[in-house]
Amino acid sequence: MKKLNLAILAMFAGILYAHAQSAADSSGYKNRKLQLEEVNIVSSYYHQNGDHAAVTGGIGTQRLTDLSNSIQVTLSKYDAHTRKHTWNIELGIDHYTSASSDNIDPKTISSASSADTRFYPSISWEMENKKGTTFGAGISLSHEFDYQSVGANLLFTQKTRNRMGELSIKLQTYQDQLKLIYPIELRTNGNNGNADEDDYGTAGRKTYSASVSWSQIVNSRFQLMFLMDAIYQSGYLGLPFHRVYFSDKSVHTEKLPDSRLKIPLGIRANYFLGDRVILRGYYRYYHDNWNINAHTASLETSIKLSPFYSLTPFYRYNHQQGAKYFAPYQVHTSAEEYYSSNYDLSGFDSHFFGAGIRIIPPHGVFGIQHFNMLELRYGHYNQSNGLQANSISLNLKFK
């Protein structure tokens, strides 16, 4: 199992911070030198279980575990025109094990996709001038055994003259390539899934998105944000190892349209209820041309137990109307052009709730001066179709 130890990440962050601080303090022109603003380290563990695995046609175990570690470094400097340049550099490593993916070829001890490690580095740059205008760009990569992705984005934001409002526009694209790993019984000796991994076929997937948001400080206690996205995908949009069992008991691989348009609309609101309580609300409506409609509402509360300790309980509810291409095990027929038994495309209600604790002591966590924040969060997730999941995450900030 490949994983990046949290202690090693923390040690690396400390070395980075100490080096940056000594470099910044060695010159009187601090604003012109590249400085380290902060380092964020996040480690999380996720475990789920259910009995509607898409790999086995909508039945069978959905047991999966995922261990994720990421480190994000933020650097900044001012140029000769007092424009602020900010760089965000991130490296993420996830390792998962999946019992359902092991059933791609149930005769083997462990199939190629039963466990995998994903690496996802990214880097972004932003430049903000004195007028409150920001331009930015970024690139990202993601690699795992059967999936590779290259992403790029452009960003523009403009603050109002009084700095109370801000318009943000972001354009993104992801160019993906996946290996066509078919269920063992549907493989041939041709290009579509020979047992030799070097002979796997490949398919492409392209994603383009445009995001527009408007944030407004209404008054000293109330803030609002409106969000709108348009996301277009084309190419191979299913997964080749998702089985579909027809009513005649024949087995097929999932088949979905080669294009998809998604339109989410959302609103966020933050309200400062006195000095000790912050309410954060969110609502999103989602629609796509596969006939999925969904409503999501969430509420998070930050309660200050003291000036340095906060409790953050949260709850999220989601209601989804399923796609027109979904049907359970042995319900699809040969008369249908598209078909899937992936319960992610089904109709369901879900609940996600939990709490976190955040520590921000004035002299640093455990007395370490630049160890600015420690946050621990736990969440429990369940769907009306029986899927259950638990997650725990640890966030460390050096600043």
Q: Please report, as a single letter, which amino acid is at residue 320.
A: Q
Instruction: Look at residue 170 and tell me whether its pLDDT is greater than 60.
Output: yes
Q: Is the pLDDT of residue 300 over 90?
A: yes
Token reading at 173: 């694209």
The residue among 95, 64, 71, 78 whose CA lies nearest residue 35 is 78
Does residue 1 register a pLDDT over 90? Answer: no
Q: Name the percent of the chain lying above pLDDT 70.
A: 87
* Contact predicate 133/157, CB 8 Å: yes
Distances in Å between the Cα of 266 and the Cα atoms of 129, 139, 222 are 28, 26, 17
Mean pLDDT of the region 84-95: 97
Give the contacts of 28 (CB within 8 A, at least 6 positions apart).
Answer: none
**Rounded-to-integer distance, Cα 99 and Cα 65, Å:** 9
Query: Taking the domains of the chain in order of start, what are their residue ranges?
Result: 6-398
| Contact by Cβ (8 Å): 381, 390 | yes
CA distance linking residue 380 with residue 357, whole number of Å:
16
- Say what the pLDDT of residue 14 is: 52
Rounded Cα distance between 281 and 285, Å, is 14
Band of pLDDT at residue 195, cut at 50, 70 and 90: very low
CA 385 to CA 318: how far, in whole Å? 13
CATH topology of domain 6-398: Porin (2.40.160)
Q: Which residue has the higher pLDDT, 144 or 11?
A: 144
pTM: 0.87
Burial of residue 224 (CB within 10 Å: 0-12, 13-18, 19+) is: middle
